[in-house]
Amino acid sequence: MSFRKILLAAAIAAAVGLFFALDLGRYFSLEALKAQQTAIEAFRARQPWLAAALYFAMYVAVTALSLPGAVLMTLAGGAVFGLWWGTLIVSFASSVGATLAFLVSRFLLRDWVTARFGERLAAIDAGIKREGAFYLFTLRLVPVFPFFVINLLFGLTAMKARTFYWVSQLGMLAGTLVYVNAGTQLAKIESLAGIVSPGLLISFGLLGVFPLIAKKIVAAVRANQVYARWSKPSRFDRNLVVIGGGSAGLVTAYIAAAVKARVTLVEKHRMGGDCLNTGCVPSKALIRSAKFLSHTRRATEFGCRSGTADFDFGEVMERVQRVVRAVEPHDSVERYTGLGVEVIEGTAKIVSPWEVDVTRENGATERLSTRGIVIAAGARPFVPPIPGLEQVGYLTSDTVWALRELPGRLVVLGGGPIGCELTQTFARLGAKVTQVEMAPRIMIREDVEVSEMVTRRFRAEGVDVLVNHKAKQFAIEDGEKILIAEHDGQDVRIPFDVVLVAVGRVANLKGYGLEEVGVVTSRTVDTNEFLQTNYPNIYAAGDVAGPYQFTHTAAHQAWYAAVNALFDPFKKFKADYRVIPWSTFVEPEVARVGLNEQEAKEKGVPFEVSRYELDDLDRAIADSEAHGFVKVLTVPGKDRILGVTIVGEHAGDLIAEYVLAMKQGIGLNKILGTIHIYPTLAEANKYAAGVWKKAHAPQQLLAWVARFHAWRRGE
Ligand SMILES: Cc1cc2nc3c(=O)[nH]c(=O)nc-3n(C[C@H](O)[C@H](O)[C@H](O)COP(=O)(O)OP(=O)(O)OC[C@H]3O[C@@H](n4cnc5c(N)ncnc54)[C@H](O)[C@@H]3O)c2cc1C
């Protein structure tokens, strides 16, 4: 705590202490006020301005110091200055005093509270920004909590002092009027309790919630304005139409059918979408084959003299397709039809907020009417407008799966998860891979040490990782394809046979009616926290809605989209993004949930790090995979987990324990107290918790325990 803070805290403590020590509270009673009323009025008659100034100052002091007595002071205001002058003075004095209390609380405690509850406070601040003024107004009119508590609590939030001041003044006005008015009849008042009748309290309550209700009504009217130009069908053939049969669309349709809604799923290409056909499934299948090859090359590490694998790239790629076909039934038309979903293979186009046209492959079009629509149209690879790219030709994650001949020299553009996974995989399959990334490191969202570990491994496996290289132009020179990249202001020329573009994915927003109907989009379909678009009956989920682009987040959103679309306005849920895990399936595998160090620093969230190195873990040593770490960020001094990064074998599986812990509010102490099977990689999670425990061992207590043992030994 700074010296200024200590000084202020001491001054306030002294003032409050004096108030109670000298029993000044006795002057703030009804009897004392009545007894002194004549004398005070006489003083006011002689020195009206001085009396007003003294009264104002006293009122401000009482409120600013959160001392009991504000009600009495308000009555006195009415008794001494009359209704209108009394109301004027009290209204300003109480607002100034409340704002001072608010500022004191902010000055003394806000930093401390931010340091301790950074992330939770951020969520509260976001709410305060949206609706804080309305809530404060309500709390001022409906005195559920004492005003001094409100002053102090709002000081801890990010509400602007100006807003706090004027909302308080406005909100307290009605109450001030009532009490000042009562003060003008001071002689008749027998107790403070009877001043506000139950009827008046109810009126205040109604007045207090009125702005909130009005706000909700205005929002509802605004939301419904978008429907003004449409005529709503009197009945619908379906409860829900889902556009897109990828991860988001499938789960949406599944949930809708499970709760007995009539739901139609429209897919224009292949059921299963990206994940099954061109994303997770084929990439993981190819990664597995490449991993097998990498193991044969590491034969000596496993005690074998040598190891080779005779393989054909085309056959490996055929296995990938076999894996896709093996998983395909999970996402098939047959399965979903069996689950109660009507599946239509065709292209959907939204033609009104309640109608979707579906065009089948044979050109036949059918109009579906529906109460709700969920857009789950996914994303596609982003192809940057680099001169020459179209001329040289390129692959993306959509087209790479058709390759049957291994490229000799492969350039992978992009150092994100997809670029990294494919870089290592193709290198292991025998291509000479150059990875080109314009940022200073690959896997830029992860901590620097993670990027460095992965880069080291890539380089050890023969990948040429070029960071700080911006692809500027593609060209064909003497029949050879060349990428010209800019590095440190110089042009670097990289010859290659095939280029794979993996620089990000963009949401599919065109060609299915969003523009025509007026569904608002930016980089994705814009949605609120309930996943509603600007048309409250049209929802979006998955890659098309963002912000995450994973199968598991698509499925997570799908639950909210389905339930909200089917049960609004009776019940709807805000999508919960508090605990989002992901993994990049390179070797060493990288998995994360919650904050890492760089994000915590960017957000100003204080943290402690507990780190366990996997080279110490028995199972990792036995498996010859003794590399990587478990890094847990916790709230300083507590075992509450803020985030975890795991780098190493099966990191994506290991992190599940921490995902559960974060979601269910389980701390490191409980993980430490849980039996983990020996010898498994999962023990690393427990050992990381042990590192935290050791760092927080109660040293003083242990010193006493040591003395206890010494005493027991008779020393
Ligand atoms: C190479 C690669 C690897 C990946 N690996 C992983 C991973 O390991 N783990 C992970 O979680 N995520 C991974 N992802 C991401 C994951 O694939 C996506 O996040 C997920 O598929 C998104 O699902 P979605 O339903 O939003 O979209 P999609 O799966 O793209 O589905 C959208 C569907 O909508 C259909 N559609 C579009 N417009 C219309 C229309 N007008 N009418 C009818 N149908 C339409 C499309 O044909 C498509 O089938 C990977 C992605 C790639 C490219």
pLDDT, one tens digit per residue, over 691-714 is 999 999 999 999 999 999 999 999
Residue 208: per-residue pLDDT: 65
* Angle (CA) 71 76 80, round 5°: 160
Joined together, the tokens standing for residue 431 give 């291509």
**Could you tell me which of 473, 478, 479 has the C-alpha nearest to residue 493?**
473
| Strands (E) located in 572-680 | 581-584, 590-594, 608-613, 629-634, 641-647
pLDDT band of 178, cuts 50, 70, 90: confident
Provide the 8-state DSSP code for 632.
E
Determine the average pLDDT of the residues in 567-579.
94
| Cβ neighbour number for residue 488 with a 10 Å cutoff | 7
pLDDT band of 175, cuts 50, 70, 90: confident
565 in contact with ligand 1, CB cutoff 6 A:
no
Q: CA-to-CA distance for 626 and 614, rounded, in angstroms?
A: 6
Q: How many CA atoms lie within 13 A of 370 on its CB side?
A: 34
Residue 93: per-residue pLDDT: 95
250 in contact with ligand 1, CB cutoff 6 A:
no
377 in contact with ligand 1, CB cutoff 6 A:
yes
Residue 562 has pLDDT above 90, yes or no: yes
Ligand 1 geometric centre to CA of 275 (Å): 5
Q: CA-to-CA distance for 280 and 585, rounded, in angstroms?
A: 10
275 in contact with ligand 1, CB cutoff 6 A:
yes
Residue 697: per-residue pLDDT: 93
Q: CA-to-CA distance for 249 and 272, rounded, in angstroms?
A: 9
552 in contact with ligand 1, CB cutoff 6 A:
yes
Name the closest-CA residue to atom 26, ligand 1: 542
* DSSP state letters, 163-200: HHHHHHHHHHHHHHHHHHHHHHTGGG---STTSS-HHH
**Could you tell me which of 643, 662, 667, 657 has the C-alpha nearest to residue 592?**
643
Task: Specify the range with the lowest mean pLDDT, choosing from 34-38, 401-405, 442-446, 568-572.
Answer: 34-38
Ligand 1 geometric centre to CA of 242 (Å): 14
Residue 440: per-residue pLDDT: 98
Which contiguous run of DSSP H or E holds residue 241?
Answer: strand 238-243
Contact partners, residue 108, CB within 8 Å, separation at least 6? 5, 8, 9
543 in contact with ligand 1, CB cutoff 6 A:
yes
pLDDT, one tens digit per residue, over 411-422 is 999 999 999 999
Q: CA-to-CA distance for 103 and 110, rounded, in angstroms?
A: 10
Residue 181 has pLDDT above 90, yes or no: no
273 in contact with ligand 1, CB cutoff 6 A:
yes
What is the position in ligand 1's atom list of the atom closest to the CA of 398?
53
**Could you tell me which of 373, 395, 385, 597 has the C-alpha nearest to residue 474?**
385
Determine the average pLDDT of the residues in 311-323.
98
pLDDT band of 215, cuts 50, 70, 90: confident
What is the position in ligand 1's atom list of the atom closest to the CA of 250?
25
pLDDT band of 532, cuts 50, 70, 90: very high
Contact 379, 247 (CB under 8 A): no
Determine the average pLDDT of the residues in 624-632.
98
Joined together, the tokens standing for residue 323 give 């894996």
Backbone angles phi, psi at 409, to 5 degrees: -115, 115
77 in contact with ligand 1, CB cutoff 6 A:
no
Name the closest-CA residue to atom 45, ligand 1: 244
Ligand 1 geometric centre to CA of 374 (Å): 15
What is the position in ligand 1's atom list of the atom closest to the CA of 545?
26
Name the closest-CA residue to atom 51, ligand 1: 279
628 in contact with ligand 1, CB cutoff 6 A:
no
Name the closest-CA residue to atom 5, ligand 1: 280
Residue 358: per-residue pLDDT: 98
Q: Is 640 exposed, middle or buried (0-12, 13-18, 19+ CB in 10 A)?
A: middle
Name the closest-CA residue to atom 20, ligand 1: 551
586 in contact with ligand 1, CB cutoff 6 A:
no
Q: CA-to-CA distance for 226 and 531, rounded, in angstroms?
A: 17
What is the position in ligand 1's atom list of the atom closest to the CA of 249?
25
Contact 143, 175 (CB under 8 A): yes
The one-letter code for the residue type at 588 is: P
Q: CA-to-CA distance for 429 and 306, rounded, in angstroms?
A: 18
Determine the average pLDDT of the residues in 258-263.
98
Q: CA-to-CA distance for 704 and 709, rounded, in angstroms?
A: 9
pLDDT, one tens digit per residue, over 57-80 is 999 999 999 888 888 888 889 888
Testing ligand 1's pocket by substitution, the residue of 423, 538, 551, 655 carrying the most ligand atoms inside 8 A of its CB is 551
Residue 153 has pLDDT above 70, yes or no: yes
Helices (H) and strands (E) in the chain, counts: 24, 21
Name beta bridge partners: 538: 373
Q: CA-to-CA distance for 715 and 710, rounded, in angstroms?
A: 5
Q: CA-to-CA distance for 472 and 488, rounded, in angstroms?
A: 13
Determine the average pLDDT of the residues in 18-24.
87
Ligand 1 geometric centre to CA of 707 (Å): 64
Would the CA dihedral through 142, 147, 150, 154 be positive or negative?
positive
Residue 598: per-residue pLDDT: 97
Q: CA-to-CA distance for 423 and 616, rounded, in angstroms?
A: 29
Q: CA-to-CA distance for 33 and 186, rounded, in angstroms?
A: 9
Joined together, the tokens standing for residue 245 give 């049969």
Instruction: Tell me which residue has tokens 């204080």.
Output: 606
Contact 587, 642 (CB under 8 A): no
Residue 32 has pLDDT above 90, yes or no: no
Q: CA-to-CA distance for 138 and 132, rounded, in angstroms?
A: 10
Contact partners, residue 6, CB within 8 Å, separation at least 6? none
**Could you tell me which of 523, 507, 515, 519 has the C-alpha nearest to residue 248?**
507
551 in contact with ligand 1, CB cutoff 6 A:
yes
| Cβ neighbour number for residue 680 with a 10 Å cutoff | 16
Alpha helices in 298-339 (DSSP H): 313-327, 333-338
Long-range contacts of 470-478 (CB under 8 A, 24+ apart): 470/438, 471/384, 471/386, 471/413, 471/436, 471/438, 472/386, 472/387, 473/386, 473/387, 473/388, 474/386, 474/387, 474/388, 474/389, 474/391, 474/392, 474/499, 475/388, 475/392, 476/391, 476/392
Determine the average pLDDT of the residues in 245-268.
98
Ligand 1 geometric centre to CA of 279 (Å): 7
Task: Answer yes or no: pTM beyond 0.85.
Answer: no
Name the closest-CA residue to atom 53, ligand 1: 279
What average pLDDT does the chain have? 93
Contact partners, residue 385, CB within 8 Å, separation at least 6? none
Determine the average pLDDT of the residues in 538-551.
97
Determine the average pLDDT of the residues in 312-326.
98
Contact partners, residue 629, CB within 8 Å, separation at least 6? 611, 612, 613, 614, 645, 646, 647, 648
pLDDT, one tens digit per residue, over 680-695 is 999 999 999 999 999 9
pLDDT band of 212, cuts 50, 70, 90: confident
pLDDT band of 196, cuts 50, 70, 90: low
Q: CA-to-CA distance for 97 and 64, rounded, in angstroms?
A: 4
Instruction: Tell me which residue has tokens 């498996």.
Output: 623
**Could you tell me which of 425, 500, 490 has the C-alpha nearest to residue 457?**
425
Which contiguous run of DSSP H or E holds residue 487?
Answer: strand 480-487
401 in contact with ligand 1, CB cutoff 6 A:
no
Residue 608 has pLDDT above 90, yes or no: yes
Testing ligand 1's pocket by substitution, the residue of 251, 276, 280 carrying the most ligand atoms inside 8 A of its CB is 280
97 in contact with ligand 1, CB cutoff 6 A:
no
